[in-house]
Each structure stands twice: as structure tokens, then as C-alpha cells.
Structure 1
């Protein structure tokens, strides 16, 4: 495993390519701490250490930070971490980590989403929006059943019509 390229991402971040393949992003200090230089070999132990001590820790913190301000779906969080150039195995481990604490829950997200919109949107619109957000059709269907069971579909339609003054 030979470092073939170190490409600047920002002033302080660098993309590391090993054997002509992009592997991960490291900060300037981490590049020097692990002694990563173009043309030099990275031992498998060092790569594993980078993945567990640096990337996994950073991905977990990023996932928690992303969930601080607003609830997200699992697919939305996965996409945000992917945009941060985290390796897929690290992304999955970070998602499992936040799930283990109950910070990420697609069922809860879907139920809250339905409740917040059932008075202003139709069932079909809500279902479509949930699917677009990456919620599975079975979770979306179950959330709709639970929430509309609580209120009743006729009452929801009346509220929508009243709001639109029809």
C-alpha cells in the first residue's frame, strides 16, 4: 500500500490516495503525525489505526453534531457523511453508533413527520415526501396508520378543507 497522491482539499485537509485510489481525508497534523508521504508505503496497521482512531472518531462526532440541530433519516445522515468523504465502513459504524443511543430512528422520524403535516397535506403527499427522504415504504405506511388512527382520516380532511376555506 503505497501513497500515490496527497491532494489538498482545503487549507488544512488533504485527500490521501493509496495505490491510485482515494482512501480518506486527513488534517495536516495527522498527515505528519502518521508520517504519510508520497511514494512511501503505509503499513496495514497504520491504515487501521487511522480508520479507528481518527476517521471513526471524527465520523461519530460529525454524526452526533448533524443530529444536534434536527432529526434526520438514516439515508440523509449517510449522505451527509458520504459528502464528508468518510469511507463507507466508517460511515456505517458511525450510523450504528448513533442508532445505539436512539439518536437516529427512522420510525420516530416518520411518525413525527406525519403528525406535523397531517393537518395541511394529504396522505399521498406525506407518503411521497417520506419516500423521497429515504424512509422505507413499510415504515412510512406504518407511521401513516398510527398517526391517522389517532386522529381519523375524515377529521384530517375536514381540517385541511377548513384551512383552505373550501
Structure 2
């Protein structure tokens, strides 16, 4: 195996090509450590060490750093690591590690998201948001139903009513202001029919 090209990504990292194909990304210090040089031969032992030891270790460290700053779903964390050009095996190793210590937990993420956004977003909007973040519906729907069952019989109507109060909605507002508030509720994922029913009930 021959190092056919080294392409700088930034001041710290470069892409390494072996036999004409992209292989991995290395930091400057790692080039010296592993003896990687342009047009030099790379032994199978060195290559295997980079692929099975160095990159999984670095991907895991990167995953930990990301999770210290904010919570991620598994899908979004995989996406973030892919942006760093880590190979799939290194990403799998990093994901397995952080999941084993529950630093990454899609169920916990979904529960926290639902609980936090229930007062301001519709159930449909929450489902849409979480599926866009990579939460699978077979995990999400039972959690959603469980949490909503603990609330009152019609949580969405209560949410709409609370948001109407927050926006100081009243039938005395002019038409344009009323429509602005209704549009706000629709953007939150509530249906027009339900919004109108709640408005009619609070206006009586």
C-alpha cells in the first residue's frame, strides 16, 4: 500500500489517500507517530493500527466532546461524526461506547424533548421534529402516548388556550392581529379546526 496523496483539510488535519483512494484523516502529530509520508509505503500492521485503534479512539473522544456540549440523538451524532470523515467502523465503535454508559440515549432524549415542548407544540409537530432528528417511530410513539396519557383528556386544547393567553388573544383584537396569533399556532403544528374550536370556547 502506497500513500498516493495527502490533502490538507485545515491547519491541523489532512486527508490521506492510499493507492489512489481516500483512506482516512490524520492530525499532524499522527503523521510523525505513524510515519505517514507522501509516496511512502504503509505496512498492513500500521494501516490496521490506524483503522482499528487510532480512529475509533479519536471518534469516541470526539463523540464525548460533542455530548458534553449538548444532547444528541444517535442519528444526529452519527451524522456529526461522518462530517469529520471518520470511517463507519470507527463511528460504530464510538456510538457503542457512549451508549454503553448512557451518554447517548434516544429514549431519554425523546422523553426530555416531549416534556419540554408539550406546552408549546402539537403532538404532530413533536413527532415531526423528533423523526427529523432520527428518532424511530416505533420508539417514539409509545413514549408519546405514555406521556400524553398522564396529562388531561385534551392536552392540545389546553396548550392552545395557554398560548392564546400568553399572546393576549381576545375577540377585541383587530382581524390582522388575530390572524397573526392563529398563524403562530398553526406553525406550532396545531390544526386550524382545533385552534378555532378553542378560540370559540374561550370567547364565549
TM-score w.r.t. the length of structure 1 is 0.93
Counterpart Cα distance in 1 of 2:133 and 2:157: 24
Counterpart Cα distance in 2 of 1:64 and 1:138: 27
CA-to-aligned-CA distance 1:31-87 (integer Å, 9 cap, x gap):
122111222221111012112332111111110111112111000000110011111
TM-score w.r.t. the length of structure 2 is 0.77
Counting only pairs closer than 5 Å after superposition, residues 1-166 of structure 1 correspond to structure 2 as: 1-165=1-165, 166=199
What RMSD in Å do the two structures reach over aligned CA positions? 1.4
Q: CA shift at 1:153, angstroms?
A: 4.6
Which range is displaced more, 103-112 or 52-61?
A: 52-61
Aligned residues: 166
Larger gyration radius, structure 1 or structure 2: 2
Structure 2: gaps (5+ residues): 166-198, 200-204
Q: CA shift at 1:114, angstroms?
A: 0.8
Secondary structure of the residue that 1:151 maps to in structure 2? coil
Structure 1: gaps (5+ residues): none
